Amino acid sequence: MTTRLDVRFASCASEGRAALVTFVTAGDPDYDTSLALLKALPEAGADVIELGVPFTDPMADGPAIQAAGLRALKAGQTLRKTLAMVSAFRETNDGTPIVLMGYYNPIYIYGVDRFLKDAKEAGVDGLIVVDLPPEEDNELCLPALLAGLDFIRLATPTTDDKRLPAVLANTAGFVYYVSITGITGAATPKPDVVAQAVARIKRHTALPVAVGFGVKTPEHAAAIAAGADGVVVGSALIDALRATLDADDKATPATIPAVTRLVGALAEAVHGVRRQAAE
């Protein structure tokens, strides 16, 4: 079954460029602002949207995304409201892929079967669940694939050739290469090292490889785009949002424009790089 992710990455590849994958946290700083931002991202240049599901113990996230999750939770964001947000987005946009990124606990509490049904109906295309390793594929990965949702797996600099086949076995949509060891937004990856890592992964899979963690500026995104199928930017967008909030962490008129301006600059940089693999 062809998914929105398959279509979008194939479209970008046919244009000889990488995809810009943008991450925002659902409900940050409030539901209405977050939905308005979600709707604005594709027009600003986002090819794929990762929507973070707020969680009280986000162990893989850096300070920026942790703070975004806490703002969202404080404003009353839930997994149910996150699915409602995707449904509202789909009323005006049927083409842009949306991937939910988060942790297993909220899904487990919601109920796996019910969650997969509701997520599919809402218009979710894929899942990234960072605390479920391949050994636990029966928990969510395999049921998600049966439900028609791509399950996107993370590969890291420490994922060696012996481990890689297990990581890739049931992965669909794309492979998310975590370009640095550690938490999100912590360091800056080296483009040449990343390109070598992507090439190594692609020897094991035909799936697109998107690179994230630590990509902060348009210049940096362009450098990564030269050797990857997609470039993921998250913490930089969250930082841009946070910088516009008032003293009570409420949105201001500057909030959405600040994020979309940065997305526009990132998109121009990423889309302007003609990839050697496609030439």
Residues recognised as catalytic: 50, 61
Contact 102/53 with Cβ under 8 angstroms?
Answer: yes
- For residue 210, give the nearest of 52, 23, 19, 24 by alpha carbon: 19
Size of the chain, expressed as the number of residues it contains:
279
Per-residue exposure over 46-80, b if at least 16 CB sit within 10 Å of its own CB, e if not: bbbbbbbbbbeebebbbebbbbbbbbbbebebbbe
Judge contact between 22 and 233, C-beta under 8 A. yes
Helix 235-242 × helix 255-271 angle, to 10°: 150
Crossing angle for the helix pair 31-44 and 255-271, nearest 10 degrees?
30
Give yes or no for a cis peptide into 29 (omega within 30° of 0).
Answer: yes
Give the torsion through C-alpha atoms of 229, 235, 237, 239, to 10 deg: -160
3-class secondary structure for 204-259? CCCCCEEEECCCCCHHHHHHHHCCCCEEEECHHHHHHHHCCCCCCCCCCCCHHHHH
Give CA–CA dist 114/83, Å, rounded. 12
